[in-house]
Chains A and B, each alone.
Chain A
Amino acid sequence: MYKKIDLSMEFLGIRLENPFILSAAPPTDEFDIAYNGLKAGWGGVILKTTSVEGNSVPLKYPMMSSFGSMSRKVIGLGNIDLISGYHIDEIEKRVKILKEVFPEKMIGASIMGAKKEDWQTLVGRLKKAGVDLIECSFSCPQGSMGEEAGRMLAQSIEATEKVARWVKEAAEDTPVLIKITPQVTDIVEVAKAVKKGGADGITASNTIPSLLGIDINTFEPYPSLFGKGAYSGLSGPAIKPITLRTIAEIAKNVDITISGNGGAFNWRDVVEFMSVGASNVQFCTLPMHYGFRTIKDLKRGFAHYLSDMGFNSPLDVVGKALPNIKSQDELPSPKTRAELVEEKCVGCGLCYSACSDGGHMAIDWDSEKRLPHFDEEKCVGCAMCMQVCPVDAIKMNEKIENSNNVHYFVEKR
C-alpha cells in the first residue's frame, strides 16, 4: 500500500487526526449529516450554533443564493441563515452520542446567547455532555441576540471582552474559541479583546455581510422570498483573500491560537491559511457544494505537500509566510520590468490590450508575427500584463538598484 503520512496534530490540547474541521453551519446541523461527515474522514466537527430553549429561531427559505460564471456558479455563496433551530437539549444528546461513536474526533459545539446566564448555561450543559471545545458565535451576519439584536457582538470591543470572559469563566479548562467578523475597523483590537477576556483562541473569521444580487427585471434581491430579500452572509472562494488578511493581521499582532474559517476550498488554500497563522481550517461551502467526499483530496493533497516540502507535521506550516508580510512602506523597491517568455506566448495580444488601455503603453504589437514587444523604458513593472496572460508567458524581472540580485516574480497558481 501507499505510504501513510501523519496529519495528526495538537490543537488547544485536543488531538486532531487531521486539521480539517466541519464548521458550525448547515453541514453540521443534522445529527446524521454530522455523523456522516466524521465517518467520511473529517478531523472534527463544530455543531451548528445552538441557543437556550427559550429562543425562537425563525429560519426563512429559500436560504441560499450564489454568484459565479455559468460553468461555476458558486464562486460566492450567500445565506440568510440564522443559528440552528435545535436547542441545547438536543445538542447535548448529539454531543454525547458523537463522542461515544467517535472518541478520536474533535466534537465541538457553537453557542450564542443573549445574556450572561444564557451563555454560561449553554457552556455548563455542553461541558457536562462531554464536548471537546466550545465556539462562540460573535459574528453571525444576521445579527446576535440580546440587547443589541441585529448587531454583531464582535463589532464591539467591550462586549467581545466581556462575553468572552463570561464564557471562559464557565468553561474553565474546556477550550473556548471566539468566532469573530472581518467587518470591523481594527481586527487587531478585537483579537486583543478576545485574549483579554481569557478565551483560548479565535475563529477567524465568519461569512461577510453582503447583498448577493438583484434580479434586473423585477428588482428583487437574491435570494428572493416572494419578492423580498435581506443581506446575506457571503462565503466560498470569493472571500478567501479577506480571510487570509484577517488571519494574518491577528497572527502578526496577537499571540493567540487561530482556527481559520472562510473561503478555503482545497488543500492549497489550507496551506495558505496555515502559513499566515491558522492552526487548522474549517470548511462549510466546499462540503455544501461537492459533499464530504472532498475530504479525500484535502487529506491526500495536504499530506503530499508536507512530504514534498520536507515538513513533519501540519504545524510546521503555521506562520511560515508571516515574516514576509510587511506594510507597503517597508517593502523593498526593486526595478521591475515585464519579460516575455516567447516560446510560451500564444499571440492573443491581451497583454497589449491591457498595457495600452490600462497600463503604461509600454507594449508594442507586431501584428504580422502576433507578438508583443516590451519597451523597458516605458514599463514600470505593474504586472498587469502578467495577470491577463492566459498561458503565464510573462514574468517580472526584479533587480535591486546597484546590486546583482535578480529575482523573477512568477505567480504559481
Chain B
Amino acid sequence: MEEIEKTFSKEQAAIEAERCLYCYDAPCETACPAHVPIAEFIQSIRTDNLKGAREIIQEAHPFIETCGRICPEESFCQSVCTRIKMDTPIKIRELHRYITDNTDPSENLELVPATKGKIAIVGGGPAGLACVRELRRFGYKPVVFEKKQLGGVPANEISATRLPEEIEKKEARFLQHNFVSEIKDIAIKSLGELNEEYSAIFISTGLSGELNLDIPGNNLDGVYYSRELLKRAKSGFRLPHFKRIGVIGGGNVAVEVASVLKIEDPLRDVEVIYRRGTKELKAFKKEIEEAIDLGVTFQFLAIPKKIKGDKRVEGLVVTRAHLGEKDTSGRRYPVPIPNSDFIIPLDAVVIAIGQKADVYFPKVEKNAKGLVKVSDDLMTNVKGVFAGGDIVRGASTVVECVADGKKAAQNIAKYLEGGKNV
C-alpha cells in the first residue's frame, strides 16, 4: 500500500525551516516526551546540514524513522509552537521526516565497548528498544526477549499507508544490529524464567489483549477485532471482501482500521460507529481528516446493542444517544434515548474499543486494569526490575514509550552503579 503523506521537497523544507524562530528554551522541545532538540535540528536544515540534523535527533531518540511519520505532533511539539501566536505552527514532524528520508542512520555511529553486565529487556517494542540503545551506549549488554519480530506495535500493526514496512524494518534492523547483544525467541511471563545472568530487568511487553464488546452476536462470522485485522493487513493478507463494514470505537485504532479498509477497497462502505459525539473522539485530528478524505463515514451518538444475524453478520442494532454529564475521562457520557433503536445494515463488524494488559509477572504489583505500577524512576515493587511503555501507561504513543525506555535505562544504570548519574 502506498503511503498517504509525502515527504517534504528540499524547497518546502527550507521555507518551513526558515519560518522557525529558533526560540530560546524552545517550548516544542519541552513538550516532546523524548526531549528532541527541535530548534537545533531545524537550524541545521536551514544550513542544509542534514547529517548534523540526524545526529541531533538520533542522539535523543532511537525511533526516528518511525516518529518522523507517526508522531502525533498536534498533541506534543506543534501544539506549543511559538509561531501559533503569529500565524501557524511549524510543521515539525514533517521536517523531522525530511531529515530521516534524506540521510542514512549508520553514518557517524560510534559505540563504546560493551563491558558491563547483561540486562534483560522483555518485549522488543519502542520502549524496549529505546532502553536497549541507551543501555548499550552506557556499555551494558542488552538481551531482548521477543517472540515476534522486533519493533512492537509500529512494526506489527500500524498500517503501511502511514508507516511503510521497509522504513520500520530498516529502523528495527539498525537498532538490532548495532545495539542488541542477543535476541531470545522466548515469551517471558514470570521473573523466575530469567536466570541470574541478568543484572537488571526491563519489562516492556505492551498491551497484548483486546477489550471485548459484550453484546449479543459478538461470536458471529464477520466479527473481527481491530488489532488482529491490522496485523493481518500489515503482513500482507487481503482483508475479507465485505462491502459494508462497521468499525466500533472512536480512538486512533478504530480510525486507522476504517482507513485501511477503505484504502483496500474504495468501493466498500466503511462507517465508524461511536457512542459519543465528534468532540469526544479520541483519535488524532489529522487521522480523522485523512479517513474522511478517503470516504470513511461516521455515525455518532450510536450505542451498539446487538450484532444482528443468523450465522453471519447482517447488521448492527444501535440505540441513539444524547450527551450527558462528563464522566471520569472528562468527556461527556452517552445517555441512551428510549425506543430509539435502529439497524445499520452491515456484512462485517470490527471491534476497536481498546486494549488491555495480559496479566503476567505475578510478583510485580499492578493496578486494577492490570497495568504495572512503578515509582518515579520506573522501578517496580521488585528491586532491579523496571517497567515502561504501554504496560505501565496504557495505550500511548511511540514517543512516550521511547521516553520511558530512555528514562528506565538511565535509572537502571544509576541503580547498578550505586546511585551514580551516568
Question: Using a CB–CB distance below 8 Å, which chain A residues touch chain B?
Answer: 69-71, 346-350, 352-353, 365, 367, 370, 390-391
Contacts and interface: CB of A to CB of B under 8 A. Distances in A.
A277 B86 CA distance: 38
A72 to B, nearest CB: 9
Contacts of A348: 21-24, 82
Nearest to A352: B24
18 contacts: A69-B14, A70-B11, A70-B18, A71-B15, A71-B18, A346-B21, A346-B85, A347-B82, A347-B85, A348-B24, A349-B25, A350-B24, A353-B24, A367-B25, A370-B25, A370-B27, A390-B21, A390-B86
A349 B82 CA distance: 10
A70 B14 contact: yes
Given A70-B15, A348-B22, A390-B86, 14 more contacts: A69-B14, A346-B86, A347-B23, A347-B82, A347-B85, A348-B21, A348-B82, A349-B23, A349-B25, A350-B21, A350-B24, A352-B24, A365-B24, A367-B25
Contacts of A350: 21-24
Contacts of A352: 24
Contacts of B18: 69-71
B9 to A, nearest CB: 10
A365 B14 contact: no
Nearest to A367: B25
Contacts of A367: 25
A368 to B, nearest CB: 11
Contacts of B10: 70
A372 to B, nearest CB: 9
Contacts of B85: 346-347
Interface residues of B, number: 14
A58 B21 CA distance: 47
Interface residues of B, dominant DSSP:
helix
B3 to A, nearest CB: 25
Nearest to B22: A350
Contacts of B15: 70-71
Nearest to B30: A367
A391 B24 CA distance: 15
A71 B11 CA distance: 7
A361 to B, nearest CB: 14
A367 B24 CA distance: 10
B335 to A, nearest CB: 41
Interface in B1-40: 10-11, 14-15, 18, 21-25, 27
Given A390-B86, A391-B86, A349 B24 contact: yes
A391 B23 CA distance: 13
Q: Nearest 7 A-B pairs (CB), nearest first?
A: A349-B24, A70-B14, A346-B85, A348-B23, A348-B21, A353-B24, A348-B82
Contacts of B22: 348, 350
A45 to B, nearest CB: 35
B23 to A, nearest CB: 4
A350 B11 CA distance: 25
Contacts of A390: 21, 86
Contacts of A346: 21, 82, 85-86
Interface in B358-390: none
Contacts of B25: 349, 365, 367, 370
Q: Which of B21, B27, B85, B86 has the most CB of A within 10 A?
A: B21
Interface string B74-90: 00000000100110000
A348 B81 CA distance: 9
Contacts of A353: 24
A71 B19 CA distance: 11
Nearest to B83: A346
B332 to A, nearest CB: 32
A70 B21 CA distance: 17
A391 B85 CA distance: 10
Interface string B54-89: 000000000000000000000000000010011000
B401 to A, nearest CB: 27
Nearest to B12: A70
A367 B27 CA distance: 10
B394 to A, nearest CB: 30
B73 to A, nearest CB: 19
Contacts of B21: 346, 348, 350, 390
A347 B84 CA distance: 11
A346 B21 CA distance: 10
Nearest to B85: A346
A367 B29 CA distance: 13
Contacts of B14: 69-71
A212 to B, nearest CB: 18
Nearest to A353: B24
A127 B11 CA distance: 51
Contacts of A365: 24-25
Contacts of A69: 14, 18
